[in-house]
Structure 1
């Protein structure tokens, strides 16, 4: 039954019912982007084997030596830039980022292009900090720049870098949502319109990955005064508004560690 799983995952899985083992040394160095986006289960429409492997491998973060080396290198690069503020953001509620990013498989987490680790995109961090500033009545255009639809287009003074996992990494888990009225919320046949909800409609479980615990490390660079203001806004924003998708359901909340 080895033909049921193809791509990078086929090196680990003998069938779609395969269960990954945490002590499998091959999973310690697997690249999560390749595992997720270049594997397929031919015998089943479910991605469960692929998501299970991603969770057990912690999206490649079982290579703790590499995690620490990257954290050290990033810190050295930030010191070389100067005027950098570092925030350690501890996950309070499971984080979902990168949904709808356009990849072949919508896994729920934005992944680093080289390492395949979960990240918080700098654009998302900047966006939530800008929105928080707007809501409290201090838009700080000089820090964030002009909004996308505004003219003229002006850059902001502060750069928001992608937040990487801390040297200890972040936990990865598989969560499932089960819509009961999918036909009502999105028409299957556009010509007939939405399908009325009813108890006869079968629920459709949808599994996705989340960053479930641990901490991300974010860096902001720019003029010292502006960076301090932006860091304060970001710390409050991820705690009050959350970042990523499904914040209304309790996902995406983080708290700055002192």
Structure 2
């Protein structure tokens, strides 16, 4: 990065370092109270939800804690996906497309009627651009999956812990701390039609995504109860 650019960035951030996502990217010592408090303050910088043409949005609430990008490594980042400009946790659209695609594949496997199964496979290839590793279309999918972001100012980050027990760890376990999004946060999911989308493509993709989020979850450690969602009910 040019020296002049670095000076300009520092001039904007000043001493406050408001872009906490930059700090989170190098945030390894999650046990320090002042660092956790600094990160937590970012939820006050709330975003606005804009309406996107030819799109469909719905909200779901976290039933368990969420960890996205956990495999990145504590030396490179915090193990959590934080938007670098708007300072909130998010689930990348690529991850959501994979979740919906897997749910669609499960639906195809459950179908017993051969004709209906063939029709469903064609719909999956059209919407996602491929069918697992078997069949790929020359065209991209007809539905774009946007990143999921908090729908309300009700999210918070917490320090979680994993204690390995293997080999010598049985007698001398070393706890490993990491950051997670606390359960109860409401996320907004948005899907958008492309120019080649047909009338029912958006509804199908939305239903598959909802099934994937409720049954399989998102992010890491889903088998341990992390990352699963439940639909938001009125009243």
TM-score by length of 2: 0.75
Structure 2 match to 1:241: 216
What is the CA distance between 1:154 and its match in structure 2?
3.5
1:178 aligns with 2:166: no
**Equivalents in 2 of 1:90, 1:249: separation in Å?**
18
Once structures 1 and 2 are overlaid, which stretch shifts more, 119-128 or 105-114?
A: 105-114
Alpha-carbon contact 2:144-2:191 (below 8 Å) kept: yes
Which residue of the other structure, out of 79, 90, 94, is the alignment partner of 2:61?
90
Asked whether the 8 Å contact 1:97–1:244 carries over to 2, the reply is: yes
Relative contact order (C-alpha < 8 Å, sep 6+): which is higher? 2
CA distance in structure 2 between the partners assigned to 1:55 and 1:230 by the alignment: 38
Superposed CA offset, 1:97-153 (max 9, x none): 111236844423211121231001111111011011111214511111125855555
Tell me which residue corresponds to 2:143.
Answer: 158
Whether contact under 8 Å (1:98, 1:108) holds in the other structure is yes
Compute the displacement of 1:39 (Å).
5.9
Unmatched 5+ stretches in structure 2? 1-9, 109-119
Q: Is the 8 A contact 2:19 2:84 kept in 1?
A: no
Match of 2:6 in 1: none
Structure 1: 5+ residue runs without aligned partners? 1-7, 13-25, 41-45, 182-196
| Matched-pair contact (CA < 8 Å) for 1:89–1:257 | yes
Paired residue for 2:20, among 9, 32, 35?
32
Secondary structure at the residue paired with 1:85? Answer: strand
Q: Give the distance between the partners of 1:255 and 1:201, measured in 2 at CA.
A: 39
C-alpha RMSD of the superposition:
2.8
Q: 1:208 aligns with which of 178, 185, 188?
A: 178
Q: Give the Cα separation in 2 of the matches to 1:54 and 1:199.
A: 28
After TM superposition, the structure 1 = structure 2 runs for residues 18-29 of structure 1, keeping only pairs within 5 Å, are none
Q: How does 1:31-50 map to 2 (within 5 A)?
A: 31-38=19-26, 46-49=29-32
